[in-house]
Amino acid sequence: MELASTPDPGQTFPPAAPGPPKSTLNPRAVFPSAQASCGDTQSRSTASPQMSCTPMYDPFQKFINSAEPHPMTAKQKAILAGKDVIDPFNLLTIGGLSAITVASDSHSAYGPGLKGWAKLSGVSFTQDMTNEFFGTFLIPAIAHQDPHYHRMPNASYKRRIAHCIYQVVWTQGDDGKGMFNYANVVGGAFEEAISDAYVPYRETGWSDATARYGTALATDPIGNFITEFVPDLARRVNFHVVFVQRVINRVAIEEGQ
């Protein structure tokens, strides 16, 4: 007959139930740290919150550092011109402005109603194609000019305002150096001359053409101001308006990022 073994004096009876395994994690780290690596977060249990290893994407970061040169081939400039023409926002703008013009003046050269709207939209679309052909493709390809507008988000407001204005006549070449804005100045003259051939009931005299050309150059900074400052405004206000988002997307396309 075997005798029961004598219990150890330091052992409790009955034996305590085994506790949960001791965690090797820092007790303060309830959730993975924001600085945790991809390997750390992937090796932990799927029951715990997972953090993405992909850095947070700022949709407006593309506008922050856009002063560096982005050389483009002639083919790339032609593709950019085509994209600008068929961009949905561009087509919507042409159609919308044409509708407003016809609705406000039914006795214009284009006539009233849907027919007048179609005529005016066609003329505006042709003018836009002409402008993109000369201003974004042909002249920049010949003169080795960068067709993009480059923002200066880190400069002072006075410097940025001046930048918007003088970019009408002084811009950036493919090599990043400053150069005369042939695309805008010379391209605008070509667009004005060609428009006289198809725009109905248009005064084609020298004085009228000069006045239209001067007005176009004077109003060109408006587009530069939109490109320069709308991204800043959108970052601070956090817009969720489709129209503003389309403006920002349009700027992104033109920046070629």
Number of domains within the chain = 1
| H-run or E-run covering 172 | strand 170-172
* Residue at 15 is within a domain: no
* Residue at 35 is within a domain: no
Task: Name the residue range of residue 215's domain.
Answer: 66-255
* Residue at 205 is within a domain: yes
Which pLDDT tens digits describe the chain residue by residue (257 residues)?
A: 444 444 555 554 455 555 545 544 444 443 344 444 444 444 444 444 444 444 444 443 443 445 566 689 999 999 999 999 999 989 999 999 999 999 988 788 888 889 999 999 999 999 999 999 999 999 999 999 999 888 898 899 999 999 999 999 999 999 889 999 999 999 999 999 898 888 887 887 888 889 999 999 999 999 899 889 988 876 666 545 545 555 655 555 554 44
Best CA proximity match to 115, nearest among 129, 98, 92, 131: 98
* Residue at 204 is within a domain: yes
* Residue at 118 is within a domain: yes
CA distance 41 to 48: 9
CA distance 207 to 32: 71
* Residue at 8 is within a domain: no
* Residue at 92 is within a domain: yes
Task: State residue 87's pLDDT score.
Answer: 92
